[in-house]
Structure 1
Amino acid sequence: MPRQRFPRTANFITARARWLAWLCALGSLSAPVSRVLPVDQVPTLQWLVELAAHWQWLYLLVGVLALVLLVLARPSGRVGHGWLALAVLALGGSFLWQPATLPRGAEPSGPGAVLAVGSANLNLATTDFGPLTAWLASPDAPDVVFLQEFTALAQQALTGHPGVAARYPHRLEAPDPSPFGLAVLSRHPLSDLQTLQPQDLRDTLRLRAAMAWNGKAVQLSALHPMPPLDAGFAQARDRALVQEAERFAQAGGPALLVGDLNTTPWARSLFAVEATLRRTTGAAPSWPNAFGWLSVLPLDHVLASNGWQVLDSRTGPDLGSDHRPMVVRLRLAP
């Protein structure tokens, strides 16, 4: 697109691409800024900055596209050092400002040493659970599955399916007509079952259990906090995460906290628990589920205690929900 032949077109593209690049760079900076704001001293500002920080994938994609357009509109290559700095900011904001993830592990040789963990937000409006039951009855189904937005209709579909019932004989279910019903389905025995009802209007249901696996008791916690509709809901979500992490720290041993946590790796909340719980699902987006493959925000997480190693993580099949399920294969460090 030589400027001497199409000067007006080049100027039009350059001006708008420059603004887009600047806006994306500023958006990417919201991730580190959210980390340096005083804790709980300016809650409204923290909340607003965090809302901006969630969209790092969008800033990255649009920012890179804007920089490419700038280069194409200026064939001489004189984009300037400032634009290169913007590209670095977009990448840095997206990937550098994340809590630590678990280390990768080698595939074990012995049987039963791998635990597959799944998480799926079923969507309150779902009435067709055929894709869900087909997945859970398949040989590729996880060993333990955490379900959110779990309704009585979903419970009925799972109970009535012989393949699912046979694969997951151990369950902790709390269906609810609201978006905050939960369930844990396990191939391995569950004990110490707890259903914690909300303590106030900003709190949500929690499930706790201990799973007997590979000769160890694995502490489980299922959580689906409210979306951060305001600063109070964001703080309630963060308190719930910290409380579950503190419980795991006191109990010791392997632990898993799983669910649609309504937060992303660039927000303050996952940094607050990284001393006890590490991410296993990376920055793979899971919401919204557009066309069964396109998503923007990584809201669905499998957090694991430091004794685990990650073998692989991926998105699961399209279940007809607005979320894509997440599946992680773990092993305990030798």
Structure 2
Amino acid sequence: MSDDAPPADNPTPSAPRKKLVSLGGLCEVVATLSLAGTWLGSLGRYHWVCDLMSHFRLQYVIACALAFLFALLRRRTWLALLALFSLLWNVHIIHAYHQTASPLPSPAAEKPLRVMTFNVLTENKNHVAAIDHVLKADADVVCLLEVDDTWQHSLEPLRVKYPHRAEELTDGHFGIACYTRLPLKSLEARRFSQWRLPTLILNLDHLGRPLTFIGTHPIPPMNNTRAQEWRDHLSAIATLVSGLQGEVIVAGDLNATPWCEGMLLLREKSGLDFHSVDPVWPPTWGLNLPMMIPIDHVLTKGGLIIQKRTIGPDAGSDHRSVLVEIVR
């Protein structure tokens, strides 16, 4: 053995210590970045990237809780306080959408109006499961998104079941179809903003009163151009609804979480709101992914209250259906 070699019973302690410090530092950086999403997401009105980050409040709750525990273990007081404050902020935002209408003091005298919206996914190969799910739900008004020409034959059972329909199937991922058993007074297909995506407007009779049903599907706001198109689309819907009198329902895949700026714009400008006894924050898209978010919605105006809201099962789409029961 060389004189320069360390003794066998005296191993060098520095290597494990350096690795531990390096791992701890990395975790601290990751925790700080995860908390940044909470606050950048609150600046959505200033930039589309910030608004995109606002969608993940549910994930931020988990990230902030983990960051808080990590900070306690590492005795990082400033990080623990920031994580706790961020956690409470996210919980506060989500809780605001836990119940957006008070339960009725007594059961409604009339039968609830059942409305379903479902993005069936253009690439969904399981047409049978998707259509069977819609048929079993037996809603009074159905709004299907992402139906194109490949769904033409599969939609036939709905055409048989419902006496009235409106279909725009030639727009690929933005095809839309609505079916209803309510008396139909008139229907119209509108195309808003630059991309000219279809929105269906059905003027119905609901128990002797006029009801306007609007089914729509704006583009996902995944870059600057698309984010502006998305906002323009939602703004156009808001302008349309603000000029309508009486009862209005807007339903569809809005590519908007309840707390993002686009949704706030739609609600403030139109007079629409969730008016739901049940929470509207449970995810409807990406339920098999860690980034699951609630982007499929039904909003009302004119004294309509959603007394029950149900998210459907897996039917081959990356979305789940939303079925609501609406009363006056």
Q: Which residue matches 1:144?
A: 141
Whose radius of gyration is greater, 1 or 2? 2
- In the TM superposition, residue 127 of structure 1 has moved relative to its aligned partner by 3.0
Matched, 1:20 2:14: no
- In the TM superposition, residue 198 of structure 1 has moved relative to its aligned partner by 5.5
**In 1, distance between residues paired with 2:30 and 2:18?**
18
3-state SS of paired residue (2:151):
helix
Equivalent residue in structure 2 for 1:270, among 253, 259, 263:
263
Whether contact under 8 Å (2:122, 2:173) holds in the other structure is: yes
Equivalent residue in structure 1 for 2:239, among 230, 242, 246:
246
Matched, 1:298 2:294: yes
Q: Residues 1-334 of structure 1: matches in 2 within 5 Å?
A: 14-35=24-45, 37=46, 46-71=47-72, 73=73, 78=75, 80=77, 82-93=79-90, 95-96=92-93, 102-106=100-104, 109-110=107-108, 112-138=110-136, 140-159=137-156, 161=157, 164-165=158-159, 167-176=161-170, 178-197=172-191, 200=194, 202-275=195-268, 276-279=271-274, 280=276, 282-290=280-288, 296-305=292-301, 307-332=303-328
Q: Which amino acid aligns with 1:169?
A: P
Q: 1:290 to 1:91 in 2, by over 3 A?
A: same
Whether contact under 8 Å (2:94, 2:281) holds in the other structure is: no
**Structure 1 runs of 4+ off > 6 angstroms?**
6-10, 97-101
- In the TM superposition, residue 253 of structure 1 has moved relative to its aligned partner by 1.0
**In 2, distance between residues paired with 1:208 and 1:319?**
26
In structure 2, the gaps of 5 or more residues are 1-15
**In 1, distance between residues paired with 2:159 and 2:110?**
21
Whether contact under 8 Å (2:42, 2:50) holds in the other structure is: no
**In 2, distance between residues paired with 1:141 and 1:95?**
36
- In the TM superposition, residue 192 of structure 1 has moved relative to its aligned partner by 1.9
CA RMSD of aligned residues (A): 2.9
**In 2, distance between residues paired with 1:142 and 1:31?**
36
Whether contact under 8 Å (1:31, 1:266) holds in the other structure is: no
Q: 1:94 to 1:225 in 2, by over 3 A?
A: farther
**In 2, distance between residues paired with 1:84 and 1:169?**
59
**1:186-229 CA deviation, whole Å, 9 max, x = no partner?**
121223200124663x3311111112212222111111111113
3-state SS of paired residue (1:321):
coil
Whether contact under 8 Å (1:47, 1:231) holds in the other structure is: yes
3-state SS of paired residue (1:278):
coil
- In the TM superposition, residue 92 of structure 1 has moved relative to its aligned partner by 1.3
**In 2, distance between residues paired with 1:301 and 1:129?**
22
**In 1, distance between residues paired with 2:102 and 2:140?**
20
Whether contact under 8 Å (1:228, 1:234) holds in the other structure is: yes
Whether contact under 8 Å (1:211, 1:219) holds in the other structure is: yes
Q: Which amino acid aligns with 2:80?
A: W
3-state SS of paired residue (1:312):
strand
Q: Which amino acid aligns with 2:120?
A: L
Q: 1:62 to 1:220 in 2, by over 3 A?
A: same
Q: 1:196 to 1:327 in 2, by over 3 A?
A: same
Q: Which amino acid aligns with 1:171?
A: R
- In the TM superposition, residue 120 of structure 1 has moved relative to its aligned partner by 0.9
- In the TM superposition, residue 149 of structure 1 has moved relative to its aligned partner by 0.4
Taking structure 2 as the reference length, what is the TM-score of the superposition? 0.82
- Percentage identity across paired residues of the two chains: 23
3-state SS of paired residue (2:114):
strand
Deviates more, 1:297-306 or 1:249-258: 297-306
Whether contact under 8 Å (1:28, 1:94) holds in the other structure is: no
**In 2, distance between residues paired with 1:325 and 1:107?**
28
